């Protein structure tokens, strides 16, 4: 049964509470009327939307300033924005939005934080397609934004932020090892050699060449350049674990940690709860593969004290047949959408497109999907006024590479989240020496097939 349906009991018990909290704020349709000087009624549309970020974050993004400007430019539209969570919490936001929609409360824009969330809403008739509104404006959304992808032939969301992946490297350690910044077309085998040469010391003083998180995309790193779109399922919704890049990728990570001993062992990371940011900025590791959201953390020296400069390299390709600088594009395919039950869809579309273009320009705190954004200003907004800890030329060459290939996930298979969980659980056993690679693949495939069979019933 779909996740949306599983939330039904929670929705029913919470509807009365949410209705009581949210009722009385405004007219249900978000419209108000005022009498003009000639005695006629001038209609003002009031849009309501709630954010998965807290008030402090919204202020940092300068959204209140943007809304003030938008209302001046569009005198017939008023915008009520409020945080729906105490902290930045996408899961809690989604639960509360589901409750509000079920209760019939006005909420004109909604935000999805994952593709499966958006497709769930679409399949349940929650989200309005954007195509007709764009056509009326004479706009092709794919020409305006990166990461805008159709679902069943229609576009339902505009991303708020898109983050390509890259490799963060301690420039001091790189120089000390006599290594150049990796070339644009380097491979994972090259990465392995760099990791070996950047590893030194032993015991508590050991510095590892590499650190990889405990996320599934780090279990078979080659999928990002070898399998376009969803790596776990083929285009016809068949499981894809027979693709050799999964098995070979597991072997690759195992060898980094247990043969070369150049990467922080999985068992240490899990048992000691080691975090990629603290490992990198404390100088415990030389390289970290991560999304570009980590770029802004470099300036936070109060939180992550360090004095070394960070340089950047492209996400390695699995084989020399793969195109260089190919990686997944997080944030693509989902984002802000219009509630299908919004009474103010035209106004909501106008605000949505402004929010995801000029709205992001005002704050300059996100990797904007808007193609007309000023690239230098975007980077300045993200890294702050002091760029002394950044190799800016390397960063720009990776992020704004005109030949970069964005691997955008546009679909998800039956029971996908459970399939990924099963793969993760089996891979963990292999990494810590609990089972063989053969058993890992067999168990993964058996469990994934059972999950898919159940999901398709």
Domain spans, the chain:
45-161+332-373, 163-330+391-456
CB 243 within 8 A of CB 408: no
**Contacts by 128-135, CB closer than 8 A, 24 or more apart:** 128/156, 128/337, 128/338, 128/339, 128/340, 128/342, 128/345, 129/154, 129/155, 129/156, 130/154, 130/155, 130/156, 130/157, 130/158, 130/337, 130/338, 130/349, 130/352, 131/155, 133/345, 133/346, 133/349, 134/349
- pLDDT tens for 179-227 read 999 999 999 999 999 999 999 999 989 999 999 999 998 999 999 999 9
Residue 87: pLDDT band with limits 50, 70, 90? confident
What is the pairing mode between strands 31-35 and 336-339?
unpaired
- What does the angle CA 57 – CA 304 – CA 299 come to, to the nearest 5 degrees? 60
What contacts 367, CB < 8 A, 6 or more positions away? Answer: 161, 162, 163, 164, 292, 293, 331, 378, 382, 399
Cα separation, 93 vs 238, whole angstroms: 32
Nearest-CA neighbor of 28 among 344, 290, 328? Answer: 344
For residue 246, how far is the Cα from the chain centroid?
22
What integer is the mean pLDDT of 302-324? Answer: 96
- pLDDT tens for 131-159 read 999 999 999 999 999 999 999 899 999 99
Q: Which fold has domain 45-161+332-373?
A: D-Maltodextrin-Binding Protein; domain 2 (3.40.190)
What is the pairing mode between strands 163-170 and 310-314?
antiparallel
What six digits make up the tokens of 187? 């491979």
- pLDDT tens for 383-442 read 988 999 999 999 999 999 999 999 998 888 999 989 999 999 999 999 999 999 999 999
Q: Do domains 45-161+332-373 and 163-330+391-456 have the same CATH topology?
A: yes
Q: Which fold has domain 163-330+391-456?
A: D-Maltodextrin-Binding Protein; domain 2 (3.40.190)
Residue-averaged pLDDT of the chain: 90
Residue listed under structure tokens 């989240």 = 417
What integer is the mean pLDDT of 242-249? Answer: 97
Cα separation, 457 vs 445, whole angstroms: 19
């Amino acid at each position: 049964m779909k996740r949306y349906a599983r939330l039904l009991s929670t929705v029913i018990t919470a509807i009365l509470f949410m209705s009581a909290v949210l009722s009385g704020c405004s007219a249900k349709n978000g419209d108000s009327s005022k009498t003009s000087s000639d005695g006629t009624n001038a209609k003002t549309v009031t849009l309501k939307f709630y954010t998965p970020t807290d008030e402090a974050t919204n202020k940092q993004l300068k959204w209140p300033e943007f809304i003030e400007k938008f209302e001046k430019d569009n005198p017939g539209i008023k915008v009520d924005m409020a945080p729906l969570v105490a902290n930045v919490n996408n899961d809690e936001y989604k639960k509360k939005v589901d409750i509000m929609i079920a209760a019939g409360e006005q909420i004109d824009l909604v935000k999805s934080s994952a593709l499966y969330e958006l497709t769930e809403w679409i399949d349940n008739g929650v989200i309005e397609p954007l195509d007709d509104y764009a056509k009326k404006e004479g706009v092709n959304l794919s020409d305006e934004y990166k990461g805008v992808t159709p679902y069943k032939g229609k576009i339902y969301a505009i991303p708020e932020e898109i983050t390509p992946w890259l490799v963060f490297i301690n420039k001091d350690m790189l120089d000390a090892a006599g290594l150049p910044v990796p070339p644009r077309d380097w491979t994972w085998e090259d990465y392995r050699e760099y990791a070996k040469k950047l590893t030194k010391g032993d015991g508590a003083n050991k510095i590892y060449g590499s650190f990889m998180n405990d996320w599934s995309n780090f279990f078979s790193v080659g999928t990002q350049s070898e399998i376009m779109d969803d790596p776990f399922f083929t285009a016809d919704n068949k499981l894809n674990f027979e693709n050799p890049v999964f098995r070979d990728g597991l072997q690759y990570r195992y060898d980094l940690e247990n043969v070369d001993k150049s990467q922080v062992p999985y068992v240490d990371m899990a048992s000691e709860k080691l975090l990629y940011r603290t490992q990198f900025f404390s100088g415990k590791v030389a390289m970290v593969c991560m999304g570009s959201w980590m770029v802004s953390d470099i300036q936070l020296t109060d939180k992550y004290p360090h004095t070394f400069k960070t340089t950047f390299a492209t996400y390695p390709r699995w084989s020399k047949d793969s195109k260089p600088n190919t990686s997944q594009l997080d944030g693509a395919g989902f984002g802000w959408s219009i509630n299908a039950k919004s009474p103010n869809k035209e106004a909501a579309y106008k605000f949505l497109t402004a929010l995801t273009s000029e709205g992001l320009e005002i704050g300059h705190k996100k990797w904007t999907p808007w193609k007309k954004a000023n690239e230098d200003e975007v980077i300045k907004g993200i890294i702050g006024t002091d760029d002394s800890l950044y190799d800016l030329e390397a960063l720009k060459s990776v992020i704004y590479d005109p030949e970069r290939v964005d691997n955008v996930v546009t679909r998800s298979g039956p029971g996908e989240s459970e399939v990924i969980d099963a793969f993760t659980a089996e891979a963990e056993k292999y990494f810590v020496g609990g089972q063989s690679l053969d058993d890992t693949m067999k168990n993964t495939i058996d469990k994934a097939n059972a999950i898919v069979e159940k999901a398709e019933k």
